[in-house]
Amino acid sequence: MDQELLPPKSTRTPPRRWPWLMIVIVSGVIIGIAWIGRSWANSPARAELLPMTPPEAGRIAVTVASVTPRPIRRTISVVGSLRGQEEIPITAKVDGRVVRVYHDLGDRVKPGELLVEMDPTDAQLAVEEAKRAYELELARLDRKDLPKLGEPFNVSELPAVVKAVAEEKNAIARMKRTEKLSSAISQEESQQRETELAVARSMIVQAKLEAQVNLAAARQKLAALASAEQRVKDLRVVAPEVIGMGDIPVDFVVASRKVSPGEYLRSMPGESVPLFQLIIDRPLKLVTAMPERFTREVKIGMPADVRVEAAPSESVAGTIARISPAIDRAARTFAVEIHIPNDDGALRPGGFAKAEILTRITTAMTVPNEAIVSFAGVTKVFVIRDQIAHPVPVKLGATLYESTARDADVWVEVEGALQAGDLVVRTGQSALAEGVPVRIRKPESMPNGVAQVNVQVTGAR
């Protein structure tokens, strides 16, 4: 038979039956595992390994901490600049050429110690001239010296007055003789005697007036002499005497020197410049400005710990010495002055400083920061009583950074219906509400340390 008339062979693959067998095997394995698990669940061995805790079923697991009353040091942090107790610019009182400078920058100077000396030649010549003028006035008064100011001075003893008095007596005598011989002398001669007596009396008055003028001139020359002598003293510029420092021993430190030997100094207003800047740096004072809300808290005598940039880890004890009685209307602040002993001179005027003023020590209830729950403007903590959670609204106070805490770094002062020893929830609050039963995983307590609260204040002067 011809091959073209044969039907073509089929290329279709016959169906496989083994996947159905695999499905049957897997199903058998699953059923076997389920049967074994059910048998293990009902076995006594499992009951021995898993404790029976029907009371804990359905309770929320939380961790807690104790509400702890703690003493808190209330301090106010301020900043400002250190200043000398007194800062005194030294200028020349008189004109003159500098011949010697005795101190320089950083020197210690005591009151009355010589700083600058100027050429005294011209001033000494002026003193001699004033002496001669004074001696001339004394010669007119026929005296070697003058009575002290305020003491009585009898001008009747002066020669001019004595002469006028003698002439008056002579005129009186002639007048008396004329009266006895009134019938023998003419009327013209009698009038002449009367005139002579009047002239003699006026000469006494004139002599006394001239004596008073000479006395005043002598006093003026004496004052000119004292002024000339003072000018000689002023040519020696010395450290000033400071009054009103109490029992504090006073000395100065030279903060700046702006004078050189050979320089000519002028004391005219607007032209004189400070020769030295002297500062009393033992003690120093820290001047700062505080907001007016602290006016009732800050008192004179309160202690303050002062730190400077040069040694931020070291503190120096200071005391509030002065408080401004007025408040700056523009800045709404008041000035506070803290005195710092600085006996060793470690602190320097002009430096930036920070101070913490201890205002009071109070006792406050504290809880860990993570125990605070805030939602929709309500702040609360959950207190556990009889293993039931109860939300308690609180008002937050200061944030405390307690270095002695074992398991928390930040604690918060709270005010509310809390008592010492109450357990507050630290973790697990998200699933809590009023009356929710809880189980405590790890009861904890807080150590009773002393915390410190700092209120930061800026705007120092």
What confidence score (pLDDT) does residue 142 get?
Answer: 81
Measured CA to CA, the distance from residue 402 to residue 367 in angstroms comes to: 12
Task: Name beta bridge partners: 62.
Answer: 440
Measured CA to CA, the distance from residue 351 to residue 235 in angstroms comes to: 35
Q: What are phi and psi of 236, to 5 degrees?
A: -105, 100
CATH number among 1.10.10.10, 2.40.50.100, 3.40.50.9100, 3.20.20.140, domain 92-118+236-273: 2.40.50.100
Least confident of 110-119, 138-147, 367-376, 424-433: 138-147
> 61-73+363-456 and 92-118+236-273: same fold?
no
**pLDDT digit string, tens, across residues 223-259:** 999 999 999 999 999 999 887 666 667 889 999 999 9
Residue 383 in tokens: 């207190």
- CA-nearest of 61, 70, 66, 62 to 424 is 66
Helix (H) or strand (E) holding 75: strand 68-90
Least confident of 45-59, 130-144, 207-221, 388-402: 45-59
- CA-nearest of 432, 364, 355, 446 to 392 is 432
Residues 6+ apart with CB under 8 A from 398: 72, 364, 412, 413, 453
Least confident of 67-81, 131-145, 191-205, 337-351: 191-205
- Beta strands, E only, 259-351: 264-265, 276-291, 303-308, 311-323, 333-340
Name the CATH topology of 61-73+363-456: 2.40.420
Cis upstream peptide for 274 (omega within 30°): no
- Beta strands, E only, 202-310: 236-238, 252-257, 264-265, 276-291, 303-308
Least confident of 98-112, 172-186, 443-457: 443-457
DSSP three-state, residue 458: coil
Task: Name beta bridge partners: 97.
Answer: 264
69-107 per-residue burial string, b: 16 or more CB within 10 A, e: under 16: ebebebbbebbbebbbbbebebebebbbebeebebeeee
Measured CA to CA, the distance from residue 267 to residue 273 in angstroms comes to: 8
62 and 443 in contact (C-beta within 8 Å)?
Answer: no
Residue 256 in tokens: 């700046």
Residues 6+ apart with CB under 8 A from 9: none
What confidence score (pLDDT) does residue 212 get?
Answer: 82
Measured CA to CA, the distance from residue 166 to residue 192 in angstroms comes to: 18
Greatest CA separation for the chain: 226
336 and 78 in contact (C-beta within 8 Å)?
Answer: yes
**pLDDT digit string, tens, across residues 84-107:** 999 999 999 999 999 999 999 999
Measured CA to CA, the distance from residue 277 to residue 259 in angstroms comes to: 11
**pTM to 2 decimals?**
0.62
Does pLDDT of 390 surpass 90?
yes
Predicted confidence band of residue 163 (pLDDT cuts 50, 70, 90):
confident
* Extents of the domains making up the chain: 61-73+363-456, 78-85+281-360, 92-118+236-273, 121-229
What count of other Cβ atoms lies within 10 Å of the Cβ of residue 202?
Answer: 12
What confidence score (pLDDT) does residue 53 get?
Answer: 47
Predicted confidence band of residue 213 (pLDDT cuts 50, 70, 90):
confident
54-83: average pLDDT: 84
What confidence score (pLDDT) does residue 195 get?
Answer: 85
CATH number among 3.90.650.10, 1.10.287.610, 2.40.160.20, 2.40.30.170, domain 78-85+281-360: 2.40.30.170
Does pLDDT of 283 surpass 80?
yes
What confidence score (pLDDT) does residue 150 get?
Answer: 66
Does pLDDT of 418 surpass 50?
yes
Does pLDDT of 218 surpass 70?
yes
The alpha carbon of residue 331 and the mean position of all alpha carbons in its chain are separated, in whole angstroms, by 17
Measured CA to CA, the distance from residue 380 to residue 371 in angstroms comes to: 9
Name the percent of the chain lying above pLDDT 70: 80
What confidence score (pLDDT) does residue 183 get?
Answer: 62
| Higher-confidence position of 261 and 344 | 261
Predicted confidence band of residue 129 (pLDDT cuts 50, 70, 90):
very high
Least confident of 18-32, 165-179, 243-257: 18-32
What confidence score (pLDDT) does residue 233 get?
Answer: 94
Does pLDDT of 453 surpass 70?
no
What confidence score (pLDDT) does residue 361 get?
Answer: 86
Q: State the amino acid at position 113 in one-letter form.
A: E
- CA-nearest of 134, 66, 166, 160 to 367 is 66
Angle between helices 121-141 and 187-234 (to 10 degrees): 160
Q: Are strands 60-66 and 438-442 parallel, antiparallel or unpaired?
A: parallel
- Beta strands, E only, 239-275: 252-257, 264-265
222 and 146 in contact (C-beta within 8 Å)?
Answer: yes
Work out the angle at residue 330's Cα, subtended by the Cα atoms of residues 328 and 332, and round it to the nearest 5 degrees: 55
Locate all alpha helices (DSSP H) within 145-186, ordered by sequence.
159-180
- CA-nearest of 279, 281, 286, 301 to 460 is 286
**pLDDT digit string, tens, across residues 314-365:** 889 999 999 999 999 999 999 999 999 888 888 899 999 999 999 988 888 9
Predicted confidence band of residue 178 (pLDDT cuts 50, 70, 90):
confident
Angle between helices 187-234 and 159-180 (to 10 degrees): 170
Least confident of 16-20, 45-49, 143-147, 427-431: 45-49
